[in-house]
Amino acid sequence: MTALFAGLTYKNALNFAAVLIHIIASISYGGAGGMEWINSIREFGKFETIVTPADATFYVRDIILYFNVTFGMAQLLPKYSSGEILQEGVSYWFFAATIAQVISTIFFSFDSLVGFVFSTIMVGGMVFCFFKILSNQASGSVDSVQHSPEEYWLLRFPFSLQAGWYLCIFISSINNVFVRLLNYPWVQVLLAILCFAAFAGIAVKMLLLNGSNPNYVIPAVIALFTVSKSNTCTCMGGC
């Protein structure tokens, strides 16, 4: 048993705590006894805008949860726990992103312009954390180590998936703030054009301008997010 936990650090503990938070947040609590904001986690990102995808697209969050749990267990194993890809790559950024998500959800539950603004800021913080992980894992001595396919799927893929997903949520969240602030059809159209232009630019960067290691996961998430049509009503018309 001692050997099983050998090499674990506070970073491993924080990663495991982050996974537990994700699991707790995935559970429905009904009325939640005055903590209804917990249930807002499952509705987060379903804004009333043109760029909001279909509800089915949000099943990506279930896939993210699966990979988070897998990562949380794998990073406790002696084979991976003390590796640079984890200790220097992931570091404490995954935990920071999780805390930012919780705070963002609380603000989102206020269902007000001020709440959406602060929620968007926190989502921006999440995106920064995930891209920081990707940057750490793709640079310096971390990237110089030869990683096996299982290390990629267990320790790197989950963060590309989350970086892509929350980047999309961040851009649509910005769109939502301006739609709430300026409730005009032409504003929605203009914002939608800018959002899709941003999606396209990011996808091109990840595929063609990412050095010798293009990232295929983030463009794939962006493609899924943008091609699915939302059934959500927007300010431009009724259901």
DSSP-based three-state secondary structure for 1: coil
CA distance 113 to 177: 7
Q: Is residue 233 part of a domain?
A: no
**How many domains is the chain built from?**
1
Close Cβ partners of 86 (under 8 Å, ≥ 6 residues apart): 11, 12, 15, 75, 80, 155
Q: How would you classify residue 215: left for phi > 0, otherwise alpha for psi between -120 and 50, otherwise beta?
A: beta
DSSP string, 185-217: HHHHHHHHHHHHHHHHHHHHHHHHSSTTS---H
Full-model pTM: 0.87
Is 57 a member of any domain? yes
Separation between Cα atoms, residue 135 and residue 187, nearest integer Å = 35
- What is the extent of the structural domain holding 49? 10-29+36-227
Burial readout 11-22 (b: 16 or more C-beta within 10 A, e: otherwise): bbebbbebbebb
pLDDT tens, the chain, 239 aa long: 445 556 799 999 999 999 999 998 887 666 555 555 566 666 677 777 788 888 888 999 999 999 999 999 999 999 999 999 999 999 999 999 999 999 998 898 888 899 999 999 999 999 999 999 999 998 866 665 667 889 999 999 999 999 999 999 999 999 989 888 887 888 888 988 999 999 999 999 999 988 778 999 999 999 999 887 554 444 433 33
In a domain? residue 236: no
CA dihedral of residues 133, 199, 108, 28 (deg, nearest 10): -70
| pLDDT at position 228 | 77
Domain contains 2:
no
Q: Is residue 16 situated within a structural domain?
A: yes
Q: Would the CA dihedral through 32, 35, 40, 42 be positive or negative? A: negative
- What pLDDT is recorded for position 29? 63
Give the single-character DSSP code of 233: -
Structural domain contains residue 1: no
- For residue 177, what are its two tokens? 């703030």
End-to-end CA distance of the chain: 58
Instruction: Return all residues near 162 (Cβ < 8 A) that are at least 6 apart.
Output: 64, 68, 97, 130
Residue 4 lies in a domain: no
Secondary structure of residue 225 in the 3-state scheme: helix
Q: Is residue 73 part of a domain?
A: yes
| The predicted structure's pLDDT at residue 39 | 62
